[in-house]
Structure 1
């Protein structure tokens, strides 16, 4: 029982200090850019047709799913090409990027650079050849004539998308009405928790940075004003506050929902609240991933590294298949296993290309066929690149090895 409690507290602490504090900074930075430019990033994408695929890949490359989610309503409105969607989803690092950036920054640099290059190339190929949803419609029309084109036509440019009504609000911004509940007790309590959360995040960021500068040493669970004690207290406190904000606070503060993008923000506090809620969502999934892995090892003696080692070339294919699952939870779990030395780099790279994170959900809601086609288009290069890394470059550069780039 003591060992199980130690795993719980260590996971709460490490997940917050080593991952969540860096998530907060990244999401806040992106939100501040949107706030200061009043959504100019979106306008730049819409007005530069030839560079849309590249811009989409860059937005997808930003850690988390916020950048990628921004592109989906643009496609629905008919202002970006289908190749842009493919490039954005393929380059999407998702919330799992925060885990790798914090625990294996060198691996993150290589994996996401590879994903970006492969996805942008695929996006331009889709646009240049005309492999948009319209062509897929023509291929399946004999089987299902009733399935109308839901995607932007890509034929020497971006055309209108008649299957959707652009007059209403973007489907990913339905949360702008604010939180869905008001309470004389829980509303001010949630605001207080939000303020305390940012205090913990700032202190935790300093501790997390110092932790990385020290080379990622083992930090014992401790209480006190020393590094170990502050690391433990701030980490567990921040994690508990994150659980509260995600489970309760988001209904009384902010937008009322999480895993959603914003074109712009009305105030600095609004931007801070958005970053805190999105980070809390990531924190919950990180904690789930950490606990699933650690408890599996403790309770079953499971040797994930040995299992992955016997998989051989099937490991990157498996990584790509995990990437087919929408959402960031499974991807965070895979990233955590990699950071623990349980998967080869080729599997991480294949997953980085194949995964779409939370960005796929808004597209699935309004154009399921386009979402499925884009996912398939990204799965194919994910398998090719992953297998190539494993068989060709892996033995030379060490990219087929376990623990490549892990601190």
Structure 2
């Protein structure tokens, strides 16, 4: 029982200090840019269509899913090409990027750099040559009827502006309505619970600020083992604020979001009305990431404890199938499974080739808005992100080997 409790407390503490505090800074910076630009960034993206795949790849490369989610409504509006969507999703780092950036920054640099290059090349290739998009479009349509027009610009698209196709891969779908993509208001009206939740959010930011300092010192010291402790020394602050931050994150995600809003998972906004709204959004988004990070930590640690499984040995034994599995896992929408894989990589259990394949294949939360409005386009986009993931992942494994533990701190 003592070992189980130690694992639980260490995972709860480390997840917040080593990952969530850095997530908060990144999300806050991105949200602040949206607040200061008042949506001008998005308008410029819509005006410069030729740069679509490059801009989409850059947006997808931002840690988390916010940058990638921003691009999906632009496709729905007919403002960017399908190649831009593919490039965005290939480059999407997802919330698992926060884990790798915090625990294996060198690996993150190479994995996401490779994903970015793959995204730009493949995105422009789709727009220029098509690469069979129309055939796959028809094949998916034959499996299940779709409410879309099969990827071809249609007449009478209502209030949607037609997109002048620059190539066979540039067609987009048009829709009469995209309501429901931005659900940001509180779902319950209780003044007492709202004040309580806002107070929890304020305390959460205090915990995040202290954890950021502790996490930075942790990295500067070479990522040493920090004992579980109570007190005013470094270990005590590391432990107390880590556990407190995680507890507040779980409250905000499961309870508080119903009273303060900004709890719609997988949403990115064009702009924010004020600084308070910006802070609220960043805090709620990071709370969601924290829940998944802690879940991944505990799942990995307890699985290893009870099963005695040597995941690294299994990954080494399957050889080139490891990056294939990494690419296949990326087909699952959302960031949860990808965070589990990133955690396993940080523990030295997953080869770098599998991490890179997953980085290319995963679409994160960005796929959810597309699934909600156009399931067919979402399926096709997933197929087109998996192909380069397999090619690059398998190629890297054959050329450089699995590279276990590459770039992992400590």
Residue pair 1:78, 1:152 contacting (<8 A) in 2 also: no
Task: Give yes or no for the alignment of 1:362 onto 2:369.
Answer: yes
Q: 2:181 aligns with which of 151, 168, 172?
A: 172
Q: Please provide the CA RMSD for this pair.
A: 1.9
Residue pair 2:148, 2:175 contacting (<8 A) in 1 also: no
Q: For residue 332 of structure 2, what is the aligned residue in structure 1?
A: 325
Residue pair 2:137, 2:151 contacting (<8 A) in 1 also: no
Deviation at 1:255? 2.7
Give CA deviations for 1:148-167 in whole Å, capped at 9, x if unaligned. Answer: 4254658316978564025x
Deviation at 1:183? 1.4
What is the TM-score normalised by the length of structure 1? Answer: 0.94
Task: Give yes or no for the alignment of 1:22 onto 2:22.
Answer: yes
Q: For residue 96 of structure 1, what is the aligned residue in structure 2?
A: 96
Determine the C-alpha separation between the residues in 1 that align with 2:73 and 2:26: 22
Residue pair 2:86, 2:381 contacting (<8 A) in 1 also: yes
Deviation at 1:140? 6.0
Q: For residue 194 of structure 1, what is the aligned residue in structure 2?
A: 201
Give CA deviations for 1:199-229 in whole Å, capped at 9, x if unaligned. Answer: 0001100000000011111111011111111
Secondary structure, aligned partner of 2:323: helix
Determine the C-alpha separation between the residues in 1 that align with 2:354 and 2:296: 17
Q: For residue 46 of structure 2, what is the aligned residue in structure 1?
A: 46
Q: For residue 249 of structure 1, what is the aligned residue in structure 2?
A: 256
Give CA deviations for 1:24-61 in whole Å, capped at 9, x if unaligned. Answer: 00000000000000111211111111111100000000
CA 1:74–1:349 in 2, change beyond 3 Å: closer, same or farther? same
Determine the C-alpha separation between the residues in 2 that align with 1:140 and 1:103: 40
Q: For residue 239 of structure 2, what is the aligned residue in structure 1?
A: 232
Give CA deviations for 1:144-198 in whole Å, capped at 9, x if unaligned. Answer: 67774254658316978564025x65x421x13x111121321110000000000
Determine the C-alpha separation between the residues in 1 that align with 2:141 and 2:307: 50
Deviation at 1:130? 2.7
Task: Give yes or no for the alignment of 1:293 onto 2:300.
Answer: yes
Determine the C-alpha separation between the residues in 1 that align with 2:360 and 2:75: 20
**Number of residue-to-residue matches in the alignment:** 398
Q: For residue 403 of structure 1, what is the aligned residue in structure 2?
A: 405
Q: For residue 106 of structure 1, what is the aligned residue in structure 2?
A: 106
Q: 2:278 aligns with which of 264, 271, 281?
A: 271
Residue pair 1:79, 1:160 contacting (<8 A) in 2 also: no
Secondary structure, aligned partner of 1:185: helix
Gaps of 5+ in 1: none
Determine the C-alpha separation between the residues in 1 that align with 2:123 and 2:322: 25
Secondary structure, aligned partner of 1:357: coil
CA 1:47–1:293 in 2, change beyond 3 Å: closer, same or farther? same
Determine the C-alpha separation between the residues in 1 that align with 2:139 and 2:215: 52
CA 1:55–1:132 in 2, change beyond 3 Å: closer, same or farther? farther
Gaps of 5+ in 2: 154-163
Residue pair 2:266, 2:368 contacting (<8 A) in 1 also: no
Deviation at 1:235? 0.2
Secondary structure, aligned partner of 2:222: coil
Secondary structure, aligned partner of 1:369: helix
Secondary structure, aligned partner of 2:191: coil
Trace 1:74-223 onto structure 2 (pairs within 5 A).
Answer: 74-131=74-131, 134-138=134-138, 148-151=148-151, 155-156=165-166, 163-165=174-176, 169=179, 171-173=180-182, 175-176=183-184, 178-223=185-230
Determine the C-alpha separation between the residues in 1 that align with 2:33 and 2:369: 22
CA 1:146–1:309 in 2, change beyond 3 Å: closer, same or farther? closer
CA 1:3–1:50 in 2, change beyond 3 Å: closer, same or farther? same
Deviation at 1:299? 1.5
Deviation at 1:259? 2.5
CA 1:152–1:188 in 2, change beyond 3 Å: closer, same or farther? farther
What is the TM-score normalised by the length of structure 2? Answer: 0.93
Residue pair 2:324, 2:394 contacting (<8 A) in 1 also: yes
CA 1:2–1:62 in 2, change beyond 3 Å: closer, same or farther? same
